[in-house]
Structures are given as structure tokens and as C-alpha cells.
Amino acid sequence: MKPADIDFMREAIAEARKGADLGEVPVGAVLVRDGRVIARGFNQPISSHDPSAHAEMIALRAAAAADGNYRLPDTTLYVTLEPCTMCAGLLVHSRIKRLVYGASEPRSGAVVSRSQVLAQPWMNHRVEVEGGVLAEECGALLTEFFRLKRQPAQG
């Protein structure tokens, strides 16, 4: 883990909270280049009616548009939850250098938990991976969100 990883993960957690405030599953992401955040995102599939609007996708789309390039070399993506298959593929195609994630996703994580998409030999780009950064805090956001969703409506 690099010294700045905790600070940038805290920024991703702040993004996740924005999503939770809108009723979205609280996953947040920030994309960093040269020690600066260049894009941010939080889950928005419900509010945007877009099944691909995961936090990672939102952040990388914003960065690619700002850079005028679909490739984002020399960047690190911080995300509060282990990416799914779609987002793992996105990291390869956009040439992300490094992924730092918080909580593991035992049901559908595609980096280490259920499959290892980034480690497959046929992938034409290698992404460095660091998992478990502020995992308890990231996981607690999700646990609390779903606990509140399961409570019967008061009224």
C-alpha cells in the first residue's frame, strides 16, 4: 500500500455516500493521476436508468472525455468495492495502471473473489491490484445501506 492510498480511498468513500443519499448502492470511485484526482463517480444505475452506470464506469467516462482519449495510462482507480466483471474489463480496455479497492465482493467480485479477470493470460494489459484498503469502512457502508433497505417502512 502506498501512503496516499488511504486518503484517496476516503475520497472514494465520500463518493459512495453521495450515491447512498440518492438511494443507490453506495459504491464510489476516484481516478488519480500524478497525485491528483482527475475524475470521480458513484453508482447511478437506478437514477440514470443505465445498468452500466457503476461508479468505475462514471469516473472513467468522465476522465476519458476530459482527456479526449479512451485510454487512461498512468492512472490509479480507487473504488470502495471489488469490481464486477464489466468493470474489471473496463480497467483493461482503458489501460488503468493500478486498481486499489476497499471491500471484497464475495458474490460477484471479478478481481479475486469469484473470478480473476485481471489475471487471465489472454488479457492484453496488466493492472496492478491492491485490495482491502479501508475494507471495514467500505464494507460497513454497504452493510448499513442494505440493513436500512430491509427494514419495514415506518408510517
Q: Of 3, 7, 45, 39, which Cα lies nearest the Cα of 27?
A: 45
Asked about 56 being catalytic, the answer comes back as yes
Amino acid 67 reads D
- Of 56, 136, 137, 144, which is the active-site residue? 56
What is the CATH classification number for the domain harbouring 32?
3.40.140.10
In this prediction, residue 7 has a pLDDT band, given cuts at 50, 70 and 90, of very high
Percent of the chain with pLDDT over 70: 98
Q: Judge whether 123 lies within some domain.
A: yes
Amino acid 52 reads S
- Known binder of ligand: residue 138? no
Listed range (13-17, 28-32, 57-61, 143-147) with the worst mean pLDDT: 143-147
Q: Judge whether 32 lies within some domain.
A: yes
pLDDT of residue 150: 85
Q: Judge whether 154 lies within some domain.
A: no
Q: Judge whether 76 lies within some domain.
A: yes
pLDDT of residue 153: 66
Q: Of 11, 16, 57, which Cα lies nearest the Cα of 35?
A: 11
Q: Judge whether 128 lies within some domain.
A: yes
DSSP states of 116-141 as a string? Answer: -GGG-TT-SS--EEE--TTHHHHHHH
Domains in the chain, number? 1
Q: Is 151 exposed, middle or buried (0-12, 13-18, 19+ CB in 10 A)?
A: exposed
- Residue 148 above 90 pLDDT? no
Q: Judge whether 111 lies within some domain.
A: yes
70-87 pLDDT, tens digit per residue, is 999 999 999 999 999 999
Amino acid 148 reads L
Q: Judge whether 39 lies within some domain.
A: yes
In this prediction, residue 154 has a pLDDT band, given cuts at 50, 70 and 90, of low
Q: Judge whether 155 lies within some domain.
A: no
CB 104 within 8 A of CB 131: yes
**With a threshold of 0.85, does the pTM exceed it?**
yes
Measured CA to CA in angstroms, residue 64 lies from 28, 71, 115 at distances of 18, 7, 27
- Domain with 59, as residue range(s), is 3-149
